[in-house]
Protein backbone atom coordinates (compact mmCIF):
# COMPACT_ATOMS: atom_id res chain seq x y z
CA UNK A 1 0.00 0.00 0.00
CA UNK A 2 1.31 3.42 -0.97
CA UNK A 3 1.29 6.04 1.77
CA UNK A 4 0.78 9.43 0.21
CA UNK A 5 -0.24 12.63 1.94
CA UNK A 6 -2.67 15.05 0.37
CA UNK A 7 -1.29 18.30 -1.06
CA UNK A 8 -2.06 20.38 2.04
CA UNK A 9 -0.35 17.96 4.45
CA UNK A 10 2.58 17.53 2.07
CA UNK A 11 3.08 21.29 2.02
CA UNK A 12 3.14 21.42 5.83
CA UNK A 13 5.75 18.65 5.97
CA UNK A 14 7.83 20.65 3.45
CA UNK A 15 7.65 23.72 5.71
CA UNK A 16 8.69 21.71 8.77
CA UNK A 17 11.62 20.12 6.96
CA UNK A 18 12.76 23.50 5.68
CA UNK A 19 12.88 24.86 9.24
CA UNK A 20 14.73 21.75 10.44
CA UNK A 21 17.33 22.01 7.70
CA UNK A 22 17.92 25.75 8.16
CA UNK A 23 18.30 25.75 11.96
CA UNK A 24 20.62 24.20 14.53
CA UNK A 25 19.14 24.34 18.06
CA UNK A 26 15.72 22.88 18.90
CA UNK A 27 13.57 22.61 22.00
CA UNK A 28 10.81 19.99 22.04
CA UNK A 29 7.84 19.89 24.40
CA UNK A 30 4.24 18.77 24.82
CA UNK A 31 1.23 19.27 27.09
CA UNK A 32 1.23 18.93 30.87
CA UNK A 33 0.59 15.40 32.17
CA UNK A 34 1.73 13.82 28.88
CA UNK A 35 0.30 10.59 27.52
CA UNK A 36 1.93 7.87 25.42
CA UNK A 37 1.47 9.70 22.14
CA UNK A 38 3.00 12.91 23.50
CA UNK A 39 6.07 11.31 25.12
CA UNK A 40 6.73 8.93 22.24
CA UNK A 41 6.39 11.64 19.58
CA UNK A 42 8.82 13.87 21.48
CA UNK A 43 11.41 11.12 21.72
CA UNK A 44 11.01 10.27 18.04
CA UNK A 45 11.57 13.89 16.93
CA UNK A 46 14.47 14.23 19.37
CA UNK A 47 16.34 11.17 18.06
CA UNK A 48 15.71 12.22 14.47
CA UNK A 49 17.14 15.70 15.06
CA UNK A 50 20.18 14.34 16.90
CA UNK A 51 20.86 11.80 14.17
CA UNK A 52 20.92 14.44 11.43
CA UNK A 53 23.37 16.58 13.40
CA UNK A 54 21.12 19.03 15.22
CA UNK A 55 21.19 20.12 18.87
CA UNK A 56 17.97 19.23 20.65
CA UNK A 57 16.45 19.04 24.11
CA UNK A 58 13.13 17.75 25.39
CA UNK A 59 11.80 19.87 28.25
CA UNK A 60 8.35 19.27 29.76
CA UNK A 61 6.54 20.70 32.74
CA UNK A 62 5.50 17.24 33.96
CA UNK A 63 7.43 14.07 34.74
CA UNK A 64 7.21 11.11 32.39
CA UNK A 65 4.48 8.76 33.71
CA UNK A 66 5.96 5.54 35.09
CA UNK A 67 4.04 3.48 32.55
CA UNK A 68 6.23 4.92 29.78
CA UNK A 69 9.59 4.61 31.54
CA UNK A 70 10.28 1.49 29.43
CA UNK A 71 10.83 3.63 26.32
CA UNK A 72 14.45 3.86 25.12
CA UNK A 73 16.35 7.00 26.18
CA UNK A 74 13.39 8.22 28.23
CA UNK A 75 15.86 9.90 30.60
CA UNK A 76 16.46 12.45 27.85
CA UNK A 77 13.11 13.99 28.78
CA UNK A 78 13.85 16.79 31.24
CA UNK A 79 11.52 18.58 33.63
CA UNK A 80 11.52 22.38 33.40
CA UNK A 81 13.51 24.19 36.10
CA UNK A 82 14.63 27.46 34.58
CA UNK A 83 15.08 29.21 31.25
CA UNK A 84 18.80 29.65 30.56
CA UNK A 85 19.30 28.61 26.95
CA UNK A 86 18.29 30.11 23.64
CA UNK A 87 16.87 27.85 20.93
CA UNK A 88 16.34 28.55 17.25
CA UNK A 89 13.13 26.56 16.87
CA UNK A 90 10.56 25.23 19.29
CA UNK A 91 8.62 22.07 18.46
CA UNK A 92 5.31 21.57 20.28
CA UNK A 93 3.66 18.20 19.85
CA UNK A 94 0.14 16.89 20.55
CA UNK A 95 -0.91 20.10 22.26
CA UNK A 96 -4.05 22.13 21.53
CA UNK A 97 -2.83 25.44 22.94
CA UNK A 98 0.50 26.94 23.93
CA UNK A 99 -0.85 27.54 27.45
CA UNK A 100 -1.00 23.77 28.00
CA UNK A 101 2.80 23.45 27.94
CA UNK A 102 2.87 25.33 31.26
CA UNK A 103 6.05 26.97 32.50
CA UNK A 104 8.04 25.60 29.56
CA UNK A 105 6.53 28.46 27.58
CA UNK A 106 9.31 30.64 28.97
CA UNK A 107 11.79 28.62 26.90
CA UNK A 108 9.89 29.55 23.74
CA UNK A 109 10.03 33.31 24.27
CA UNK A 110 13.40 33.56 22.50
CA UNK A 111 12.82 31.02 19.72
CA UNK A 112 12.57 32.51 16.25
CA UNK A 113 10.01 29.95 15.06
CA UNK A 114 7.52 27.49 16.55
CA UNK A 115 6.47 24.25 14.86
CA UNK A 116 3.04 23.04 16.01
CA UNK A 117 2.19 19.41 15.14
CA UNK A 118 -1.16 18.14 16.40
CA UNK A 119 -4.17 16.01 15.49
CA UNK A 120 -6.81 17.63 17.71
CA UNK A 121 -9.73 19.52 16.21
CA UNK A 122 -9.55 22.23 18.88
CA UNK A 123 -5.92 23.23 18.21
CA UNK A 124 -5.48 27.02 18.40
CA UNK A 125 -2.84 27.06 15.60
CA UNK A 126 -0.39 29.07 17.66
CA UNK A 127 2.77 28.20 15.70
CA UNK A 128 4.63 29.76 12.79
CA UNK A 129 4.13 26.43 11.06
CA UNK A 130 0.91 24.69 12.04
CA UNK A 131 0.50 21.11 10.86
CA UNK A 132 -2.87 20.41 12.44
CA UNK A 133 -5.08 17.67 11.05
CA UNK A 134 -7.65 15.76 13.16
CA UNK A 135 -7.94 13.07 10.49
CA UNK A 136 -4.72 11.46 11.78
CA UNK A 137 -4.98 8.83 14.52
CA UNK A 138 -2.16 10.32 16.59
CA UNK A 139 0.67 12.78 16.61
CA UNK A 140 3.00 9.80 16.19
CA UNK A 141 1.30 8.94 12.91
CA UNK A 142 2.03 12.46 11.66
CA UNK A 143 5.66 12.33 12.81
CA UNK A 144 6.07 9.11 10.80
CA UNK A 145 5.72 11.13 7.58
CA UNK A 146 8.54 13.47 8.62
CA UNK A 147 10.78 10.42 8.99
CA UNK A 148 9.66 9.22 5.58
CA UNK A 149 11.07 12.41 4.07
CA UNK A 150 14.15 13.00 6.21
CA UNK A 151 15.66 9.73 7.36
CA UNK A 152 15.35 5.99 7.79
CA UNK A 153 13.58 4.69 10.89
CA UNK A 154 15.66 2.79 13.43
CA UNK A 155 14.33 0.13 15.79
CA UNK A 156 14.29 2.66 18.63
CA UNK A 157 12.28 5.16 16.62
CA UNK A 158 9.91 2.44 15.42
CA UNK A 159 9.28 1.65 19.09
CA UNK A 160 8.42 5.27 19.82
CA UNK A 161 6.07 5.68 16.88
CA UNK A 162 4.33 2.34 17.40
CA UNK A 163 3.77 3.19 21.08
CA UNK A 164 2.35 6.60 20.10
CA UNK A 165 -0.15 5.08 17.70
CA UNK A 166 -1.05 2.14 19.95
CA UNK A 167 -1.83 4.28 22.98
CA UNK A 168 -3.70 7.09 21.23
CA UNK A 169 -5.97 4.66 19.41
CA UNK A 170 -6.62 2.83 22.71
CA UNK A 171 -5.14 -0.36 21.30
CA UNK A 172 -6.22 0.20 17.67
CA UNK A 173 -9.88 0.80 18.59
CA UNK A 174 -10.53 4.54 18.10
CA UNK A 175 -9.97 7.07 15.29
CA UNK A 176 -8.09 4.77 12.93
CA UNK A 177 -7.19 6.20 9.52
CA UNK A 178 -6.42 4.67 6.12
CA UNK A 179 -2.74 4.98 7.14
CA UNK A 180 -2.81 3.54 10.64
CA UNK A 181 -2.48 -0.21 10.17
CA UNK A 182 -0.06 0.08 7.26
CA UNK A 183 2.21 2.38 9.30
CA UNK A 184 1.99 -0.02 12.28
CA UNK A 185 2.99 -2.87 9.96
CA UNK A 186 5.98 -0.92 8.64
CA UNK A 187 7.08 -0.01 12.18
CA UNK A 188 7.01 -3.68 13.15
CA UNK A 189 9.14 -4.43 10.10
CA UNK A 190 11.59 -1.77 11.35
CA UNK A 191 11.90 -3.50 14.73
CA UNK A 192 8.99 -2.41 16.94
CA UNK A 193 7.93 -5.34 19.13
CA UNK A 194 4.12 -5.18 19.46
CA UNK A 195 3.79 -7.87 22.13
CA UNK A 196 6.45 -6.30 24.33
CA UNK A 197 5.06 -2.78 23.97
CA UNK A 198 1.46 -3.88 24.61
CA UNK A 199 2.55 -5.82 27.69
CA UNK A 200 4.37 -2.81 29.12
CA UNK A 201 1.45 -0.47 28.46
CA UNK A 202 -1.53 -2.69 29.31
CA UNK A 203 -0.39 -5.71 31.32
CA UNK A 204 1.98 -4.37 33.98
CA UNK A 205 -0.19 -2.49 36.45
CA UNK A 206 1.27 -1.83 39.91
CA UNK A 207 -0.71 -3.46 42.71
CA UNK A 208 -1.49 -0.05 44.21
CA UNK A 209 -3.06 1.01 40.90
CA UNK A 210 -5.33 -2.06 40.97
CA UNK A 211 -6.36 -1.19 44.54
CA UNK A 212 -7.18 2.33 43.41
CA UNK A 213 -9.24 0.89 40.56
CA UNK A 214 -11.23 -1.25 43.00
CA UNK A 215 -12.10 1.85 45.03
CA UNK A 216 -13.05 3.69 41.86
CA UNK A 217 -15.29 0.83 40.70
CA UNK A 218 -17.10 0.96 44.03
CA UNK A 219 -18.32 4.43 42.98
CA UNK A 220 -19.64 3.12 39.63
CA UNK A 221 -22.96 4.55 38.45
CA UNK A 222 -25.11 3.74 35.41
CA UNK A 223 -27.81 5.90 33.86
CA UNK A 224 -29.86 3.48 31.77
CA UNK A 225 -31.91 6.19 30.09
CA UNK A 226 -28.86 8.00 28.73
CA UNK A 227 -26.74 4.84 28.30
CA UNK A 228 -23.94 6.41 30.32
CA UNK A 229 -21.67 4.83 32.92
CA UNK A 230 -19.14 6.62 35.10
CA UNK A 231 -16.95 6.36 38.17
CA UNK A 232 -14.86 8.66 40.34
CA UNK A 233 -11.36 8.93 41.73
CA UNK A 234 -11.08 11.17 44.78
CA UNK A 235 -8.14 12.62 46.67
CA UNK A 236 -9.08 10.31 49.54
CA UNK A 237 -8.73 7.28 47.26
CA UNK A 238 -5.25 8.44 46.23
CA UNK A 239 -4.28 8.81 49.90
CA UNK A 240 -5.61 5.39 50.89
CA UNK A 241 -3.68 3.60 48.13
CA UNK A 242 -0.55 5.76 47.93
CA UNK A 243 -1.24 6.53 44.27
CA UNK A 244 -1.43 9.52 41.96
CA UNK A 245 -3.21 10.52 38.77
CA UNK A 246 -0.88 8.49 36.56
CA UNK A 247 -2.16 5.35 38.28
CA UNK A 248 -5.59 5.93 36.71
CA UNK A 249 -4.25 5.09 33.24
CA UNK A 250 -6.74 2.82 31.48
CA UNK A 251 -9.57 3.19 34.01
CA UNK A 252 -11.96 4.97 31.66
CA UNK A 253 -11.13 2.57 28.83
CA UNK A 254 -12.17 -0.35 31.02
CA UNK A 255 -15.55 1.31 31.60
CA UNK A 256 -16.01 1.36 27.82
CA UNK A 257 -16.13 -2.45 27.86
CA UNK A 258 -19.50 -2.30 29.64
CA UNK A 259 -21.95 -3.52 27.00
CA UNK A 260 -24.90 -1.40 28.08
CA UNK A 261 -22.96 1.88 28.06
CA UNK A 262 -22.72 4.05 24.96
CA UNK A 263 -20.84 6.80 26.83
CA UNK A 264 -18.42 6.45 29.75
CA UNK A 265 -16.47 8.95 31.77
CA UNK A 266 -14.08 9.10 34.69
CA UNK A 267 -14.10 12.01 37.14
CA UNK A 268 -10.77 12.68 38.87
CA UNK A 269 -10.42 15.05 41.78
CA UNK A 270 -7.41 17.39 41.74
CA UNK A 271 -6.12 20.06 44.11
CA UNK A 272 -7.58 22.94 42.13
CA UNK A 273 -10.53 21.30 40.43
CA UNK A 274 -11.81 18.21 38.63
CA UNK A 275 -10.57 16.46 35.50
CA UNK A 276 -12.99 14.44 33.34
CA UNK A 277 -12.08 11.85 30.69
CA UNK A 278 -14.81 10.86 28.23
CA UNK A 279 -15.20 7.84 25.94
CA UNK A 280 -17.85 7.01 23.35
CA UNK A 281 -18.54 3.94 21.25
CA UNK A 282 -19.08 6.18 18.24
CA UNK A 283 -22.68 7.35 18.16
CA UNK A 284 -22.30 10.17 20.69
CA UNK A 285 -19.66 12.84 19.97
CA UNK A 286 -17.75 13.36 23.23
CA UNK A 287 -15.40 15.87 21.59
CA UNK A 288 -18.32 18.29 21.30
CA UNK A 289 -19.26 17.49 24.88
CA UNK A 290 -15.75 18.24 26.15
CA UNK A 291 -15.58 21.42 24.09
CA UNK A 292 -18.74 22.66 25.82
CA UNK A 293 -16.70 22.63 29.05
CA UNK A 294 -13.54 24.15 27.55
CA UNK A 295 -11.81 20.88 26.66
CA UNK A 296 -11.41 18.86 23.49
CA UNK A 297 -10.07 15.72 21.89
CA UNK A 298 -11.72 13.30 19.48
CA UNK A 299 -15.24 12.09 18.76
CA UNK A 300 -14.61 8.83 20.67
CA UNK A 301 -12.14 10.10 23.31
CA UNK A 302 -11.83 13.53 24.89
CA UNK A 303 -11.45 15.38 28.17
CA UNK A 304 -11.85 18.64 30.02
CA UNK A 305 -11.01 20.34 33.32
CA UNK A 306 -13.27 22.20 35.76
CA UNK A 307 -11.27 24.68 37.84
CA UNK A 308 -12.27 25.27 41.45
CA UNK A 309 -15.37 23.07 41.31
CA UNK A 310 -16.33 20.09 43.42
CA UNK A 311 -16.60 16.56 42.12
CA UNK A 312 -20.34 16.58 42.92
CA UNK A 313 -20.94 19.80 40.97
CA UNK A 314 -19.05 18.46 37.96
CA UNK A 315 -20.88 15.14 38.01
CA UNK A 316 -24.23 16.94 37.97
CA UNK A 317 -23.23 19.30 35.14
CA UNK A 318 -21.87 16.50 32.94
CA UNK A 319 -24.93 14.28 33.35
CA UNK A 320 -27.27 17.19 32.63
CA UNK A 321 -25.36 18.05 29.45
CA UNK A 322 -25.30 14.44 28.24
CA UNK A 323 -29.03 14.13 28.83
CA UNK A 324 -29.63 17.35 26.90
CA UNK A 325 -27.43 16.30 23.97
CA UNK A 326 -28.96 12.85 23.62
CA UNK A 327 -32.15 14.54 22.47
CA UNK A 328 -30.26 15.77 19.38
CA UNK A 329 -29.41 12.21 18.24
CA distances from 46 to 42, 128, 260 (A): 6, 20, 43
Question: Splitting the chain (329 residues) into consecutive groups of 10 residues, what average pLDDT does each group show?
Answer: 89 97 97 95 98 96 95 96 89 95 93 96 94 96 95 95 96 90 97 97 95 98 95 98 94 95 96 94 92 91 94 96 81
- Rounded to a whole number of angstroms, the CA Rg of the chain reads 20
Query: Rounded to an integer, what distance in angstroms lies between the CA atom of residue 101 and that of residue 109?
Result: 13
Query: Rounded to an integer, what distance in angstroms lies between the CA atom of residue 299 and that of residue 175?
Result: 8
> For the residues of 119-153, what is the DSSP string, one character each?
--TT----SSEEEE-TTSS-HHHHHHHHHHHH-PP
How confident is the model at residue 82, as a pLDDT?
82
Contacts of 155 (CB under 8 A, 6+ apart): 190, 191, 192
Cα dihedral 122, 272, 59, 184 in deg (nearest 10): -50
How confident is the model at residue 85, as a pLDDT?
86
Identify the DSSP state of 112. Answer: S
| CATH classification number, 7-202, choose in 3.40.50.12780, 3.40.190.10, 3.30.160.250, 3.90.1640.10 | 3.90.1640.10
Q: Where are the domains of the chain?
A: 7-202, 208-326
What number of CA atoms fall less than 13 Å from residue 273's CA on the CB side? 7
Q: Which architecture, in CATH terms, is 208-326?
A: Roll (3.10)
How confident is the model at residue 329, as a pLDDT?
60
287 three-state secondary structure: helix
**3-state helix vs strand vs coil in the chain, percent to 5:** 45, 20, 35
- Backbone φ, ψ for residue 277 (5° rounding): -110, 125
Is 208-326 in the same CATH topology as 7-202? Answer: no
The pTM for the full model equals: 0.92
Contacts of 278 (CB under 8 A, 6+ apart): 252, 263, 264, 265, 286, 289, 290, 297, 301, 302, 303, 304
Amino acid sequence: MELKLNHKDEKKVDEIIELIEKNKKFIITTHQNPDGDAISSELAIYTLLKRIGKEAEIINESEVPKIYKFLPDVKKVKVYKSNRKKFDVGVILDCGSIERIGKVRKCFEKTSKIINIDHHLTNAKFGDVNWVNPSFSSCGEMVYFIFERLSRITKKEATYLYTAILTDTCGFIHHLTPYTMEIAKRLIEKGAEPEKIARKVYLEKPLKSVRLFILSLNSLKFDRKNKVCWSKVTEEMYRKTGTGEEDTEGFVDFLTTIKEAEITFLIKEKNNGVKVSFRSKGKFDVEELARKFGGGGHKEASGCFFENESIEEVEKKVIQEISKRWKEY
